[in-house]
């Protein structure tokens, strides 16, 4: 789970951030905490679906779910930085990532060790869930760890072979939402999987914002993303498709009675979506500075959209 994940508030090349003054600050920079809503918001949505559907909800497991997800996400971010630096994706003259390795704040060995510690903490906080819910949750956890590590980790590195979009969609949409619902209630739901689609699209939009910005550098590093394979026009079109698709999906779910009319509250976030889509109009891939913040702004959109959708489920539960 990374790069969605990579919703980085990265300054321009000439405005690199001041180096952190302490080791703790460096490690905090390395985890890219500003990207955590990409995993926490789907988790929140899964919890609100448990509230809506469930009569016997194991709320005492919720802190373990959220904390385990945070460590898993953080570990994925760190390992992604290690691999991107190793393959020349992140360098002194590029945007993206935490900048810890290109700026020489930690060694690759230190970063890798830190990432493994974070994965270990994710497992540790997941143990109470496994003991309570059994083998199914164990398999869900394994999927999360494998998906996070091999996003960039060899021998798979699916980010580098143009498979990042589909895996990020599946992990940050259906996997987290339905996984959270199952952990809290012991029930899998097709409706929950459908309701997760808009968030999956938006989180994939965060990744696409990164890929659009990084087309030139990714090509230099011989990295294959959908953006590098099909070009700038396709990348812009995919971004618009993902953002617009999230809103259209909500409308369709309301029409087919999967969601209630309250779910249209998500349209309160539409001004941010329009601003983001307008940002890429007329921008050439050489002008990376003009869209340097698009990933962070897409993450903000995901946060607002997800909170509004969750609120709509609460209203549905108590108002109808």
Residue at 16 is within a domain: no
Residue at 151 is within a domain: yes
State the total domains in the chain.
1
Residue at 5 is within a domain: no
Contact at 8 Å (CB) between 204 and 159? no
pLDDT at 9: 40
Q: Distance between CA atoms of 193 and 189, rounded to whole angstroms?
A: 7
Residue at 10 is within a domain: no
Residue 121 sits in which domain range? 23-318
Residue at 50 is within a domain: yes
CATH of the domain at 40: 1.10.600
pLDDT at 3 over 60: no
Please identify which residue in the block is written with the tokens 């968030």: 199
Q: Is the peptide bond before 155 cis (omega within 30 degrees of 0)?
A: yes
pLDDT at 19 over 80: no
Residue at 17 is within a domain: no
Tens digits of residue pLDDT in 265-319: 999 999 999 999 999 988 888 877 788 889 989 999 999 999 999 999 999 999 9
Residue at 42 is within a domain: yes
pLDDT at 5 over 80: no
pLDDT at 21: 65
Residue at 3 is within a domain: no
Distances (CA, A) of 238 to 10, 83, 167: 22, 25, 16
Q: Distance between CA atoms of 118 and 285, rounded to whole angstroms?
A: 35
């Amino acid at each position: 789970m990374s790069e969605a994940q990579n919703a980085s508030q990265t300054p321009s090349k000439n405005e690199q951030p001041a180096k952190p003054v302490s080791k703790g600050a460096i490690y905090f920079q390395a985890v890219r905490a500003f990207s955590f809503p990409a995993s926490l918001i789907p988790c929140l949505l899964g919890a609100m679906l448990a509230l809506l559907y469930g009569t016997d909800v194991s709320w005492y497991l919720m802190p373990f779910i959220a904390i385990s997800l945070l460590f898993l996400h953080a570990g994925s971010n760190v390992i992604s930085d290690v691999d991107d630096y190793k393959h020349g994706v992140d360098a002194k003259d590029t945007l993206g990532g935490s900048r810890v390795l290109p700026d020489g704040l930690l060694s690759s060995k230190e970063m890798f060790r830190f990432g493994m510690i974070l994965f270990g903490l994710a497992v540790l906080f997941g143990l109470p869930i496994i003991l309570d819910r059994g083998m199914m949750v164990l398999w869900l956890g394994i999927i999360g760890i494998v998906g996070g590590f091999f996003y960039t980790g060899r021998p798979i590195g699916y980010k580098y072979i143009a498979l990042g979009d589909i895996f990020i969609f599946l992990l940050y949409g259906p996997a987290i939402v339905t996984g959270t619902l199952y952990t809290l209630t012991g029930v899998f739901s097709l409706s929950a999987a459908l309701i997760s689609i808009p968030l999956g699209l938006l989180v994939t939009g965060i990744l696409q914002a990164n890929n659009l910005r990084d087309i030139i550098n990714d090509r230099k590093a011989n990295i294959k993303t959908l953006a590098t394979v099909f070009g700038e026009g396709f990348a812009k079109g995919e971004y618009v498709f993902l953002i617009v698709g999230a809103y259209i999906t909500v409308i369709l779910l309301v029409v087919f009675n999967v969601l209630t009319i309250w779910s249209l509250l998500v349209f309160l976030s539409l001004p941010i979506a329009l601003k983001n889509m307008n940002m890429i109009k007329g921008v050439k891939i050489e002008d990376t500075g003009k869209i340097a913040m698009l990933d962070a702004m897409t993450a903000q959109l995901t946060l607002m959209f997800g909170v509004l959708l969750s609120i709509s489920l609460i209203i549905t539960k108590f108002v109808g």
